[in-house]
Amino acid sequence: AQTVTQSQPEMSVQEAETVTLSCTYDTSESDYYLFWYKQPPSRQMILVIRQEAYKQQNATENRFSVNFQKAAKSFSLKISDSQLGDAAMYFCAYIPRNTGNQFYFGTGTSLTVIP
């Protein structure tokens, strides 16, 4: 079975500080993609960052970076210099490369940014 687990239902961070959101997944596939999506109150799904499993280098997008540990099946998101606009639900997602019809999403982490 392919599952994605986010064990932190809620997190908070002080503005300008750094926060790390955790995600683990289970799969027997060797080639896949991992994503972090942001869902603000508007409910629009916004792609934050993407990682390809065959790439050892961790993906980075401005203040957002990931720590991808393939052997441990772990994919955490680090947000540096947190801003008020970062407050949202964050979903970790997985999709296999060769049979990539559907995303598997975690249950989300609600991030609060404290001014």
Partner 1 sequence: NAGVMQNPRHLVRRRGQEARLRCSPMKGHSHVYWYRQLPEEGLKFMVYLQKENIIDESGMPKERFSAEFPKEGPSILRIQQVVRGDSAAYFCASSPPGLAGGFHEQYFGPGTRLTVT
Binding mask 83-102 for partner 1 (x = CB under 8 A): --------x-x-xxxxxxxx
String of DSSP letters for 50-110 = EEETT--SPPEETTEEEEEETTTTEEEEEE-S--GGG-EEEEEEEEESTT-S--EE---EE
Please give the structure tokens belonging to residue 33. Answer: 């993609």
Closest to partner 1 by CB, 64 or 104: 104
Binding mask 35-74 for partner 1 (x = CB under 8 A): --x----xxxx-----------------------------
Interface residues toward partner 1, by CB under 8 A:
4, 33, 37, 42-45, 91, 93, 95-108
